[in-house]
Chain A
């Protein structure tokens, strides 16, 4: 197992390296001139040159790559272009903290509901309950998150004061207030993911319920409840865990529309703004952070699956049985 983790981390490093190259290249390929944005449209050529130099924009790609590689090791990516004096890393960490709150709170709501919905659909396969769950999920997940956000805002937040328009609770608010503010965006995430997770869970549960080993258990005279708990559950949820693992990275870095609608200072919005204003240190730091999260999330999912399934454990041990 240790060997597997080590190998996966090594592979992650290689992937990180590739991403590093890509984010280094962004400013060299992307249209627009960050120096002009920072210095302002009417700046003199001399001023532009100065800004460019101070930002390191004139260095060769190789030098930039080397600098950025160094930054990864020291975890110091320099100051933000748009907010002089503030380190990119510091800004990203603050946003990451916000995103973590949102993601954890949302998942605490989404995962139990979707898994329960999927399992219920599996048990009631081909009945109206099953069809309602599957079709509702499908319909909901086809609504873009910012549309769902706006709808929820209009329907819930406007008439009822309990639901907050802004997702970001004031500083120093109690946990409960924070949760209250996060409720609406979490509901949006529920609409996005309920259908997906429920469907995967449904399929996994149906496969496990229809399996020969579940039949063996029923034939032993075990009650339906025990067959489910002892034989179906662990087999049924493996695909669900894999799906959640791969979606985590997106939840952290991809919920741009949602964060804008609810004016939430998370990672998605930060990366979006950084790209928009050509704030490359911030953009690079943000993208690399999401990449790292993605890698750890999928690794964690694989480890959980290995814990659930001894067969997968052999694979994770890289064949060295």
Chain B
């Protein structure tokens, strides 16, 4: 797939040349693309990667000339398949979209018309090609079969809300392929999907590509997705491509300081919090419309010199394979500082602070019992991070809410604080217990009172959790803010005036206001860009070292969990299938579900991984499969045992618990995602 390609415009499936675009906001044009140039050859997969606001999605839509109402192309050309899109009439453009190019979108649930049957929507992509209604419906069925959707006939008659996100994305792909497009644009096609579903969708796209020979333009913020899917990649920053080359060249041998910073900000090669910090690129992402006349990255670049702020950097070839960087100092790339080694040893205490003892949680729904949590057993030592992973619907958030007292557990289970049982409901807990368990949410926007200043938010948390009032509370609030590296200036701002990363710092500060024992972090960095995520993860690790706080860290990002967690619990249908130290989990042996989960992660390090497919969807907790809940999707299933008998937990050594019928010596060992360096 990584054949060298020439970049002739006339035969390219897509050639974008010097594209400059602005969004007109209140009469003022704000520059979003500042001369984007790249081409995708027939049959090639080209990836665009970058953080939010860099213009990658704008570029993707521009490739089909779909501009928002206030979008304005000021310069440059878009040529696809020899046709110049920038010169087309609207009728020609419709024809182009109907027959030659297609798109797959980020959020498949929103991308489908909620009031029209799936079959009719897919058929529409065929009627536009001139087929009759019946022909189109037959073609639609074929298209759904082609994307390997389960029970395509019944899917035809369903409405979008009746399908899962993964199934809908298959439907969207089926529509996109209706015309056998020469150009297929995928805009964050797997963002928001579970890792296992993501892996399936990516596999599907890969298989179909071989069949179709379409050119693919893939937009993603996830470097692993780009690495596993694309031949070449362009790294975008502030509306410009700053580095381009084959995925191997760019990811293994980055030549632009931004690319290097980006790669250093994600946990790679299995590094852990005890090894080194993640690299948080200093400064903030530029806003759309900011004036960046010379090098777009100069403000944040650690190796910038005077010339960088006076002259536009040239394109510098790195290899004959078309690897180039837009930088004045490609020779100084090695001077980009590596992330700091962690000097203090990270040790976990021995005393159990919080215990979760046989906790079950059953919801009543339409007269039926829905067991959302079943006999959860775990404990947190002082200064320990327990990572919690599993697909959506596995019960991760329910466990978090039960621990914090949002839902009281069923009779018989208990949450203990230093051995003493706490009340189930937060409202009945004594102050000490409430203070002890605090929470940080995924979306700081909805977790913070938007009408209040940061100072007031923090002072209230201090007063509520410690009883301090007035000047004392304010003093404490400032102290916490400072330890979160928030400056005095931020205290009088309101949440909407802060960036996503700063908001999450405020949310963390709030949780730490009462000196908690355990902080439950529910996907705290999923909404953040990777360079911001790095800073938040560093902060959490540092707070833990200094305050000896324990974390329950929920994340779908296995790489992040591996970086931060001391132990990891794997959940499935409300049960803990496996619990062990991070080393035990990544070295194996592991539960078959864990094996599949780990193998689904697309890695930026590019190690070929044998993916263990997980067929079908996660079962509903309202109707769990008999025997082992995982047997319906397990490739090691023992007929007559797994589907009948509920497995007992087995200690495979060193406190590593696995809930499986397989004899220990037959348990799988996970494929090493990444070689440790």
State whether A310 and B113 are in contact (beta carbons under 8 Å apart), knowing that A221-B96, A320-B366 are contacts in the complex. Answer: no
Shortest distance between the CB of A305 and any CB in chain B (Å): 10
B361 at the interface (CB under 8 A from A): no
Q: Chain A residues near B94 (CB, 8 Å)?
A: 221-223
- Docked Cα-Cα span, A310 to B98, in Å, equals 28
Q: Chain B residues near A235 (CB, 8 Å)?
A: 113-115
Q: Chain B residues near A29 (CB, 8 Å)?
A: none
Does A213 lie within 8 Å of B95, measured CB to CB?
no
A215 at the interface (CB under 8 A from B): yes
Q: Chain B residues near A220 (CB, 8 Å)?
A: 97-98, 124-125, 128, 175
Residues 37-69 of B at the A interface (beta carbon under 8 Å): 64, 66, 69
Does B112 lie within 8 Å of A216, measured CB to CB?
yes
Does A319 lie within 8 Å of B366, measured CB to CB?
yes
Does A310 lie within 8 Å of B105, measured CB to CB?
no
Does A221 lie within 8 Å of B95, measured CB to CB?
yes
Residues 200-231 of A at the B interface (beta carbon under 8 Å): 211-213, 215-223, 230-231
Shortest distance between the CB of A227 and any CB in chain B (Å): 10
- Docked Cα-Cα span, A219 to B184, in Å, equals 12
Residues 229-267 of A at the B interface (beta carbon under 8 Å): 230-231, 234-235
B99 at the interface (CB under 8 A from A): yes
User: Closest residue of chain A to B102, judged by CB?
Assistant: A219
Contact of A212 among B102, B110, B115 (CB under 8 A): B110
Contact of B116 among A212, A215, A230 (CB under 8 A): A230
Contact of A213 among B64, B69, B110, B125 (CB under 8 A): B110
Does A311 lie within 8 Å of B124, measured CB to CB?
no
Contact of B113 among A217, A221, A314 (CB under 8 A): A217
Residues 172-208 of B at the A interface (beta carbon under 8 Å): 172, 175
A152 at the interface (CB under 8 A from B): no
- Docked Cα-Cα span, A219 to B69, in Å, equals 15
Annotate A304-321 by CB proximity to B: 1 below 8 A, 0 otherwise. 000011110010000110
- Docked Cα-Cα span, A218 to B68, in Å, equals 12
B5 at the interface (CB under 8 A from A): no
Does B116 lie within 8 Å of A211, measured CB to CB?
no
- Docked Cα-Cα span, A217 to B122, in Å, equals 10
Does A234 lie within 8 Å of B115, measured CB to CB?
yes
Does A216 lie within 8 Å of B99, measured CB to CB?
no
Contact of A310 among B99, B114, B128, B175 (CB under 8 A): B114
Describe A's contact surface by its main secondary structure: helix
Does A213 lie within 8 Å of B114, measured CB to CB?
yes
Shortest distance between the CB of B548 and any CB in chain A (Å): 46
Q: Chain B residues near A218 (CB, 8 Å)?
A: 66, 97
B363 at the interface (CB under 8 A from A): no
Q: Chain A residues near B69 (CB, 8 Å)?
A: 125
Q: Chain B residues near A231 (CB, 8 Å)?
A: 113, 116
Contact of A309 among B64, B66, B110, B114 (CB under 8 A): B114
Does B105 lie within 8 Å of A216, measured CB to CB?
yes
- Docked Cα-Cα span, A235 to B113, in Å, equals 8
- Docked Cα-Cα span, A218 to B107, in Å, equals 16
- Docked Cα-Cα span, A179 to B97, in Å, equals 50
Shortest distance between the CB of A178 and any CB in chain B (Å): 38
Shortest distance between the CB of A89 and any CB in chain B (Å): 42
Shortest distance between the CB of A77 and any CB in chain B (Å): 42
Residues 279-321 of A at the B interface (beta carbon under 8 Å): 308-311, 314, 319-320
- Looking at A215, A217, A220, A308, which has the most chain B CB atoms within 10 Å of its CB? A220
- Looking at A215, A216, A234, which has the most chain B CB atoms within 10 Å of its CB? A216
Q: Chain B residues near A213 (CB, 8 Å)?
A: 110-114
Q: Chain A residues near B102 (CB, 8 Å)?
A: 219
User: Closest residue of chain B to A238, judged by CB?
Assistant: B115
Q: Chain A residues near B107 (CB, 8 Å)?
A: 212
Does A309 lie within 8 Å of B115, measured CB to CB?
yes
- Docked Cα-Cα span, A230 to B125, in Å, equals 13
- Docked Cα-Cα span, A230 to B94, in Å, equals 16
User: Closest residue of chain A to B365, judged by CB?
Assistant: A319
Shortest distance between the CB of A49 and any CB in chain B (Å): 58
Shortest distance between the CB of A218 and any CB in chain B (Å): 7
- Looking at B95, B105, B111, B161, which has the most chain A CB atoms within 10 Å of its CB? B111
Residues 359-411 of B at the A interface (beta carbon under 8 Å): 366
Q: Chain B residues near A309 (CB, 8 Å)?
A: 114-115
Q: Chain A residues near B113 (CB, 8 Å)?
A: 213, 216-217, 230-231, 235
B103 at the interface (CB under 8 A from A): yes
Shortest distance between the CB of A237 and any CB in chain B (Å): 11
Does A216 lie within 8 Å of B115, measured CB to CB?
no
Q: Chain A residues near B105 (CB, 8 Å)?
A: 212, 215-216
Does B161 lie within 8 Å of A215, measured CB to CB?
no
Q: Chain A residues near B175 (CB, 8 Å)?
A: 216, 220
State whether A216 and B111 are in contact (beta carbons under 8 Å apart), knowing that A221-B94, A311-B159 are contacts in the complex. Answer: yes
Annotate B119-159 by CB proximity to A: 1 below 8 A, 0 otherwise. 00000110010000000000000000000000000000001
Q: Chain A residues near B97 (CB, 8 Å)?
A: 218-221
- Docked Cα-Cα span, A234 to B115, in Å, equals 8
Shortest distance between the CB of A238 and any CB in chain B (Å): 9
User: Closest residue of chain A to B366, judged by CB?
Assistant: A319
Shortest distance between the CB of B121 and any CB in chain A (Å): 8
Does B111 lie within 8 Å of A310, measured CB to CB?
no
- Looking at A219, A222, A234, which has the most chain B CB atoms within 10 Å of its CB? A219
Does A311 lie within 8 Å of B111, measured CB to CB?
no
- Docked Cα-Cα span, A219 to B175, in Å, equals 10
State whether A308 and B115 are in contact (beta carbons under 8 Å apart), knowing that A221-B96, A320-B366 are contacts in the complex. Answer: yes
Shortest distance between the CB of A143 and any CB in chain B (Å): 32
Q: Chain A residues near B114 (CB, 8 Å)?
A: 213, 235, 309-311
- Docked Cα-Cα span, A198 to B64, in Å, equals 33
User: Closest residue of chain A to B158, judged by CB?
Assistant: A310
- Docked Cα-Cα span, A320 to B368, in Å, equals 12
Annotate B66-103 by CB proximity to A: 1 below 8 A, 0 otherwise. 10010000000000000000000000001111110011
Does B366 lie within 8 Å of A222, measured CB to CB?
no
Q: Chain A residues near B161 (CB, 8 Å)?
A: 310-311, 314
Does A310 lie within 8 Å of B110, measured CB to CB?
no
Does B366 lie within 8 Å of A310, measured CB to CB?
no
The 8 closest A-B pairs by CB, nearest first: A221-B98, A221-B97, A212-B110, A213-B113, A310-B159, A221-B94, A212-B111, A216-B111
A-B contact pairs, 6 of them (CB 8 A): A212-B107, A216-B111, A220-B128, A221-B98, A231-B116, A235-B113
15 extra interface residue pairs, beta carbon distance < 8 Å, beyond A213-B114, A220-B125, A319-B366? A125-B69, A212-B110, A213-B112, A216-B111, A219-B64, A219-B97, A221-B94, A230-B124, A231-B116, A235-B113, A235-B114, A308-B115, A310-B159, A311-B161, A314-B161
